[in-house]
Amino acid sequence: MPDCIPRAGDEASREACRTITQVLRSDLKFEGLFQFVPENLFSALPTLNPDSPNFEDWRSVGTNILVVMRAQVTGGELAVEARVFSVDGRQVMLSKRYSGRADNPRSFAHQASDDIVALTQYKGVARTKIAFTSDRDATKERRAKELYIVDYDGFNPRRITVNNSLNILPAWSPDGRALAYVSYRQGGPAVFVAHIYEGRSESLTKQGEQAFAPSFSPDGKRIAYASNKTGNMEVWVANADGTGAHNVTSNPSTDTAPAWSPTGQEIAFTSDRAGTPQIYVMDSEGLNIRRLTTVGNWNDAPTWNPSKEYSEIAYTARLEAGGFDIAVIDLATRQIRQVTAGRGSCEYPSWAPNGRHLVFSCQRSRGGTWQITVADREGRTIDTLAAGSGNNVQPDWGP
Amino acid sequence: MKRPTVPLLLVALVLLAGCGGKKRPPAVLTDPAHKPSYPAASPEPEQPVNTGPDIRSVGRDNPSGEDFSINDASGENGPLEDIHFEYDKDALSDEARAILEKHALWLQNHRQARVTVEGHCDERGTVDYNLALGDKRARATRDYLVSLGVAGDRMHTVSFGKERPLDPTATEQAFARNRRAHFVVSR
């Protein structure tokens, strides 16, 4: 992928091109589907003819695919062209033109990245967002926790809740237009739904019951959560507007942390019915409960891989004394894959919408800050996300 | 067309095919040499790019800036002192029961008082589990007060899990202080 070529020599166009080059390379590298020829080879390139690359020459160095970007800023508008060439096929695979406001060229690169990844069988994540809880705006007098949203790469932080209370456990709706979360703004913990493009929030559960851990069903029509309304902590399911709430577990132990299967027909949850917290699976009306995890004495926070390609559940596991790690259990073989190791304590995993990456929160040393952390599903690459100051916890990766 | 005299060094994306686990199919780009189904070279119509969706804040339902009603764990105690719990336990110790018996007496002498019983945990352990544990601590505390004759409708419980520790430091002493039921009295 050569540098983006400005269509005009003005500084705004060149700056937009620099951003697009950097962000698009970063996006495509993150997906882990492509291998880049080292950039030091660029210096020897003769000037590329962006309309008609010399395929023979590209092929002679083993190139399969060539991405050519061009951009121009005119009067506050940014116009970008993306062309993807198959070198072997000697033809254009993708040709796109994008236009919009020039103030955020990163979003053009994200759009181009997703269009390029769409040439594979995968859906890219470059335009996805991550919601999380942070104490960054807390003061000594008001130890508030609020919800924030960042782009998947940590850029563009936006604050969602503004009430100086505790606002925790955000969970995206499948259409990306709402967040379910838990707020203490009326005293006790209740599930709310924030409509983030409309700037309004409404409560799903009432004061008097302790309600936590909301999770939207894959079709967005139902929300599962944990509540003590029966006098004991159980998994509940309600319609997304709060009607039809009913408990689906009924057991003297603690049942919490529900997570839907990709089909919406099953729910994974945490229960201590066998003496220690373990992951269980049931159908969405509470029947056919079976235990999933048997290794370790503390497993919690299950989250089902949303991709049909991977039948697995990520969760928080105490595999060694002391800290927690992120683990993934294969639902067919029950084999456990440890995603984090030696990274202090990590908890609260959430899958990228395509199931190829995980986000969670880690505290690398006791007493240190909690940071949003991203890994591929094998745990080969793990990086802290620069998501801003404070303790950043409970991430949920949205559409 | 002019041919360069040195081999061109060209840079592009190369598929990283088949990396990873055995079960995972490799990323597959349809080979255009065999399936020339891509759009022709003429660009598609311009596609508008959403350069930053208009996400808005919610929950400005507290415009006065007044803090919410929960005692902010400042360390200030009301008339009823905290009781403490063992690690990962919601059982009441003998010491806790003795304190709750004093609280029951006080509540019988202050019949207008209403109490919020807050259940708190130390920072060890997972978020969800601690929210449930804080709930169990608060309910065990309330239930014992009920057994001592305090009307249940004078009390309500709130679990804070590990979300609002009294002492945020990571020491055994802080953990012990944070595993508590805290009482907020209102009239």
Q: What is the pLDDT of residue B37?
A: 38
Find residue A179's DSSP bridge partners: A172, A194
Tokens 């929950």 locate to B59
- A159-206 pLDDT, tens per residue? 999 999 999 999 999 999 999 999 999 999 999 999 999 989 999 999
Tokens 């990844």 locate to A117
Residue B40 pLDDT more than 50?
A: no
Which of B186, B137, B57, B69 has its CA nearest to residue A166? B69
Chain A residues with CB-CB distance to B14 below 8 A: 34-37, 62-65
Q: Which amino acid is present at A109?
A: A
Mean pLDDT of B98-116: 97
Asked if B38 and A183 come within 8 Å (Cβ–Cβ), the reply is: no
Q: Does A54 touch chain B (CB under 8 A)?
A: yes
- What ipTM describes this predicted complex? 0.93
Q: What is the pLDDT of residue B59?
A: 59
Mean pLDDT of A150-158: 96
Burial profile B67-76: b = 16 or more Cβ within 10 angstroms, e = fewer: bbebbbbeee
Residue B64 pLDDT grade (very low, low, confident, very high; cuts 50, 70, 90): very low
Residue A84 pLDDT more than 80?
A: yes
Burial profile B127-142: b = 16 or more Cβ within 10 angstroms, e = fewer: bbbbbbbbbbbbbbbb
- A357-384 pLDDT, tens per residue? 999 999 999 889 999 999 999 999 999 9
Q: ∠ CA(A170), CA(A193), CA(A254), 5° rounding?
A: 60
Which of A378, A376, A374, A351 has its CA nearest to residue A361? A374
CA distance A261 to chain B (A): 19
Partner B, chain A 234-293, Cβ-Cβ below 8 Å:
254, 256-257, 270, 272, 277
Mean pLDDT of A68-72: 96
CA B32/CA B148 separation, integer angstroms:
80
Residue B12 pLDDT more than 70?
A: no
Residue A45 pLDDT grade (very low, low, confident, very high; cuts 50, 70, 90): low
CA A207/CA A221 separation, integer angstroms:
23
How much is the mean pLDDT over chain A?
94
- A284-329 pLDDT, tens per residue? 999 999 999 999 999 999 999 999 999 999 999 998 777 899 999 9
CB B62 within 8 A of CB A144: no
Supply the pTM of this predicted model: 0.90
Which pairing describes strands A222-227 and A211-216: parallel, antiparallel, or unpaired?
A: antiparallel
Chain B residues with CB-CB distance to A33 below 8 A: 15-16, 27
Q: What is the pLDDT of residue A44?
A: 73
Closest residue in B to A133 (Cα) is: B163
- B122-177 pLDDT, tens per residue? 999 999 999 999 999 999 999 999 999 999 999 999 999 999 999 989 999 999 99
Asked if A161 and B58 come within 8 Å (Cβ–Cβ), the reply is: yes
